[in-house]
Amino acid sequence: MNNLIRPQPGILEIAPYVGGKAAVAGVAHAVKLSSNENPFGASEKAREAYLRAVHNLHRYPNTDHAELRGAIADVYGLDAARVICGVGSDEILQFIAQAYAGPRDEVVFTEHSFLMYRLLAHAVGATPIQVAERDRTVDIDAILAACGPRTKLVFLANPNNPTGTMIPMSEVERLADNMPRQAILVLDGAYAEYVEGFDGGLSLVESRSNVVMTRTFSKIYGLGGLRVGWGYGPAEIIDVLGRIRQPFNLSAGQMDAALAAVRDQEYVAKCRTENARMRAWLAQALEEAGVPSDPSHANFILARFSSTEEAQACDAFLQAEGLIVRQVAGYNLPHCLRITIGDEASCRRVAHAVAKFKGTR
């Protein structure tokens, strides 16, 4: 072995990301409620656009994403020049980390936040700083107390995954206005479209020079398999991110399907309404079975059990019933299970199975 060949500092600290389970051995038609996917899939218009893209497989895609950026800007009321598209919002988060943090810098995120934030900090050799939450809710004072002269990035998902909790925009504003001046606030809006009438922080991006927002086509748009996300921020920051983006990071099919999806807001509204209906129903059904949860603002519920053992036993019980949910021990929540809101039949099945496990049915 040649021990002069070494990876960059931080890389070996990375525990590889493990996605939600997709199958159970011995169960033919398991219901997957482990990855916060849209149970209704993508809009018909997005599927058709993707199929049409097959005729141009021999052509390189355009490099500036102009049409997709234009459609996003149109639908969300933004400046297209300050939209950047990536391979999932994960890639936008990666651009931000790569461009703005490195060795001796600190990257701040909270106790139960998305695992990619820690991973990205390590990937660029920065120091991850994990901040405590209050009852599974982001605590802005704790974040501000953790910031210092080395802080370069603060990641904040609102609503948060896997807790589903949300903080008011006034609190997010307080964070943006009181953070150290050399740091960027990265507002991760992966679940923003699930919140009726919520702009995900777009107005904050417009009014501040230190806020960048990321969004995804993987959740409410039902395109998780396609891998498209986008970011919005101040012109200087978007210019920097654009410099490290590979010119052909998105394929033509990805752009065509995402464009059709963002134009189909009727479908988005339908998915939002149905998600809210089934989320309220499932939360109530779990509560009646003796499994509490915090009010969720996203497309999943974080079900709380009395112990780690009980959560694990329930997970095993659900798997035996062909229901796959997500263990969240890696998010410092070993006594919880995250359950994606499925269609009505899946929600009924999972509620019935949890009640059976708890002996209330």
> Which residues of this protein are in contact with ligand PLP, per CB under 6 A?
36, 88-90, 114, 157, 161, 188, 190, 216, 218, 224, 229
In the bound state with ligand PLP, the residue whose beta carbon lies nearer, of 89 and 346, is 89
In the bound state with ligand PLP, the residue whose beta carbon lies nearer, of 114 and 267, is 114
- 182-to-101, 135, 204, 346 alpha-carbon distances in Å: 11, 30, 17, 47
Q: How far is the CB of 144 from ligand PLP (least distance, A)?
A: 21
Q: ∠ CA(267), CA(166), CA(349), 5° rounding?
A: 60
CA dihedral 178, 181, 182, 187 (to 10 degrees): 40
**What does residue 221 show for φ and ψ, rounded to 5 degrees?**
-80, -10
Q: How far is the CB of 2 from ligand PLP (least distance, A)?
A: 35
In the bound state with ligand PLP, the residue whose beta carbon lies nearer, of 36 and 43, is 36
In the bound state with ligand PLP, the residue whose beta carbon lies nearer, of 61 and 86, is 86
In the bound state with ligand PLP, the residue whose beta carbon lies nearer, of 155 and 305, is 155
Q: Rounded distance, CA 257 to CA 252, Å? A: 9
In the bound state with ligand PLP, the residue whose beta carbon lies nearer, of 289 and 338, is 338
Using the structure block, give the residue that is written with the tokens 């991006």.
Answer: 205
**What does residue 306 show for φ and ψ, rounded to 5 degrees?**
-80, -20
In the bound state with ligand PLP, the residue whose beta carbon lies nearer, of 254 and 353, is 254
Identify the burial level of 36 via C-beta atoms within 10 angstroms of its C-beta, where 0-12 means exposed, 13-18 middle and 19 or more buried. Answer: buried
CB of 22 closer than 8 Å to CB of 340: no
Q: How far is the CB of 155 from ligand PLP (least distance, A)?
A: 9
In the bound state with ligand PLP, the residue whose beta carbon lies nearer, of 114 and 194, is 114
Q: Rounded distance, CA 207 to CA 211, Å? A: 9
In the bound state with ligand PLP, the residue whose beta carbon lies nearer, of 257 and 289, is 257
In the bound state with ligand PLP, the residue whose beta carbon lies nearer, of 100 and 109, is 109
Q: How far is the CB of 95 from ligand PLP (least distance, A)?
A: 12
Q: Rounded distance, CA 76 to CA 230, Å? A: 12
Q: How far is the CB of 218 from ligand PLP (least distance, A)?
A: 3
Q: How far is the CB of 98 from ligand PLP (least distance, A)?
A: 15
In the chain, which ranges are E strands? Answer: 31-32, 83-86, 106-110, 127-131, 151-157, 184-188, 211-216, 229-232, 300-304, 323-324, 326-327, 336-340
Q: How far is the CB of 228 from ligand PLP (least distance, A)?
A: 7
Q: How far is the CB of 195 from ligand PLP (least distance, A)?
A: 13
**Parallel/antiparallel/unpaired status of strands 211-216 and 83-86:** unpaired
Q: Rounded distance, CA 62 to CA 53, Å? A: 13
H or E segment at 204?
Answer: helix 202-207
| Among 316, 318, 314, CA closest to 349 | 318
Tokens representing 164 are 């589903």
Tokens representing 324 are 């796959």
Q: How far is the CB of 172 from ligand PLP (least distance, A)?
A: 15
Taking CB positions, which residue lies at the least distance from ligand PLP? Answer: 88
